[in-house]
Amino acid sequence: MRSALKITIVAAIVSGMFTVAWGSPETFSIDAASPSVPGVDQSDLLNPGMSVQIPKANLGLGAGDELDALSTGIDAVQDNNIVYFSVDRLTLGVAGPLTPLDVFGQAGLSQQAGDVFVTTNALGVGSVPLGINSVHINQNFFGEVPVIGPLVNNAGNQDNLDALSFEEFDLTGDQWQDRPVYFSLDSLSPTLVAGGFSAADILSSPSGGGVIGVFATALQMGLQLNDDLDALALLDLNSDGIVALGTDMALFSLAPGSPTLAGLGASPADLFLTTFNGTSFVRYSAASLGLQAATDNVDALEVQVPEPATLGLLLLGGLTVFRRRRK
């Protein structure tokens, strides 16, 4: 790319030109190794700015639990998506036309783990994965450490965003969820043992709080009980909190060390698609996201439909679903 064009694109991204019309992160979580813990807990749902939206106790979670994937169940998962994702502290990325404002560049500045990236074309415009990504939201927007801009080198530790939603869960400001919370836990979470759950299960906590249930089991996705699902975009088509086999859809990723990855020769940065029919397949490879299969890990996910007026289409899609249910 000509350097003048590249500088223009980079300047546009820094100024936020490409971020305003796109998905707006409303809820996130960070991991236990983040320097902002224990100021907030690794299982709390957080607002941008690092205030607590839903404390872990209101989800039914306790000490030592690690919430590592999150969804409202109304994500526009389909066969082709623009993918929004986060990566872990060890992720390196692949150099691309938008470096340094991509995973590769942010990793070089030691500030990649708290960012949200989006799959784009070479001009930085949202696209189904083509092997190119760019910074969608830098970590300072979330109040994550380090609170610095995206072009500054970070000498210290960094918060790791490990769960993401474009929607809010608390709509009334009382710190209780007003819609179901779909989530997953990591393999060391005490609640897994207490509830007989797998780290690869998609769990749910109902509107208003209460007892944690299983939305979909590891086996319904063709996973093994000792896999760990660590990133999730979910469409529970009729929003009833009960999985519809062959109809509901999820895009997800697995954590490093999950035996299914070794069995398939797949990467913790690959994204799998399932309709809960007992199988999953790799829909987007690490390379298609601009990531390295051997070293990189996707640890949070959101999606949008790949048309220009994505927000309008998202609303239309939601209304269609709603009408279909009421027939």
| Contacting positions for Ca ion (CB under 5 A) | 68, 86, 106, 111, 113, 115, 138-139, 150, 160-161, 184, 199, 228-230, 253, 268, 297-299
Nearer to Ca ion, 146 or 180 (CB): 146
Nearer to Ca ion, 163 or 314 (CB): 163
C-alpha 37/C-alpha 66 separation (Å) is 12
Least separation in angstroms between CB 209 and Ca ion:
21
Closest CA to 232 of 113, 119, 69: 69
If you count them, how many residues does the chain have? 327
From the centroid of its chain, how far is CA 251?
A: 10
Nearer to Ca ion, 19 or 139 (CB): 139
Least separation in angstroms between CB 263 and Ca ion:
15
Nearer to Ca ion, 68 or 248 (CB): 68
Nearer to Ca ion, 117 or 169 (CB): 117
Least separation in angstroms between CB 171 and Ca ion:
26
99: which residues sit within 8 A by CB, 6+ positions away? 105
- Give the CA diameter of the chain: 58
Least separation in angstroms between CB 109 and Ca ion:
7
240: which residues sit within 8 A by CB, 6+ positions away? none
How is residue 101 written in tokens?
Answer: 């404002």
How is residue 271 written in tokens?
Answer: 């994204």
Least separation in angstroms between CB 149 and Ca ion:
8
Other Cβ atoms closer than 10 A to 271: 27
C-alpha 320/C-alpha 326 separation (Å) is 10
Nearer to Ca ion, 199 or 233 (CB): 199
Least separation in angstroms between CB 3 and Ca ion:
22
Least separation in angstroms between CB 288 and Ca ion:
15
C-alpha 182/C-alpha 203 separation (Å) is 6
Nearer to Ca ion, 82 or 289 (CB): 289
Other Cβ atoms closer than 10 A to 74: 21
* Sequence letter at residue 68: D
- What SS3 state is found at 288? helix
C-alpha 189/C-alpha 302 separation (Å) is 23
